[in-house]
Copies of this chain bind each other. A is one copy, B any other.
C-alpha cells in the first residue's frame, strides 16, 4: 500500500497534541499549527467537529491544510491517533510490542499513567491544588517502569512513552518555573524534590531518556509553554490570592 498523505493539526502548547508518535514513526506529514485561543472557523466543520487538537487528515489529494479534501479521512482523539500511527507502521517501525501481553502492558501503562497524572497536575496549575498531588502518580509510573532502565515497557520506545512524556515535560517545566494557580513556591519545591530525592532516581533516569530523544527535542518548545502558561496561570494565582484576602 502506497503511503497516504497525512496532515497533522496540532498546537505546540497542548500535551494531548504532543504525543510524539507521528514524529517517531518515520512517516512524512505536513503539520499545521492551530491557535487554541483563536481557532480558525474552518477547523471544526472541515476537520474535527469537537474542535480539539490533535487531529489528522489521512489520504486524499494534496491540498492546503486550511482546505482539506472531503476525500481524506479525518481522525481525532490523541489516544486513537497513537494506535492509528502504530497500526500504519506496524511492520516498518514497531511502536507497540509484538506480543499480545506486551501490547497489553503498553496500553495498561498509558491508561494508568494518564489517568493518575493528568488530573492532579491540571488541578494544581489550573485550580491551585498543591502540586505535590502528582507524587503518587510518579510513584505509580516508577512502579511500572522496568527497574533496570529502558522505556515504559522495555528496551524499545513505544506509544506508552509517547502518551506520557508530553505531560511530564509540561509538569516539570511549570513546577521548575513555579508557574501555576497554586501558592508561590509550591511548584519549585516539588521540582527540587524530583531532582534530588533518591526515591525518584528511576523516574529521573526515565525522564532523561525520553526527553533526550530527537523526536522530543524537535517538538518541545519550552519558551512557548513558559510564556503561555505564565500568562494564563499567573492570572489564576492572582485571582486566588485576591479571593483569599477578601
A100 and B88 contact, Cβ closer than 8 Å, known pairs A75-B108, A108-B75 = yes
Confirm or deny: A84 has a beta carbon within 8 angstroms of a beta carbon on chain B.
Answer: yes
Residue of chain B at shortest CB distance from A109: B80
Copy tally for this chain in the complex stands at 2
Confirm or deny: A156 has a beta carbon within 8 angstroms of a beta carbon on chain B.
Answer: no
Decide if the interface of chain A is mainly helix, strand, loop or mixed. Answer: helix
> Are B100 and A87 in contact (CB-based, < 8 A)?
yes
Confirm or deny: A79 has a beta carbon within 8 angstroms of a beta carbon on chain B.
Answer: yes
> Are B75 and A101 in contact (CB-based, < 8 A)?
yes
Rounded to whole angstroms, the CA-CA distance of A7 and B6 in the bound complex is: 42
> Are B103 and A84 in contact (CB-based, < 8 A)?
yes
Residue of chain B at shortest CB distance from A103: B87
A57-74 CB contact bits vs B (8 Å, 1 = yes)? 011000000000000010
A79-113 CB contact bits vs B (8 Å, 1 = yes)? 11101100110000000000011011001100110
- 12 A-B pairs besides A79-B111, A81-B104, A87-B100 with CB distance below 8 A are A58-B101, A73-B101, A75-B104, A75-B108, A77-B107, A77-B111, A80-B107, A80-B108, A83-B104, A84-B101, A84-B104, A88-B100
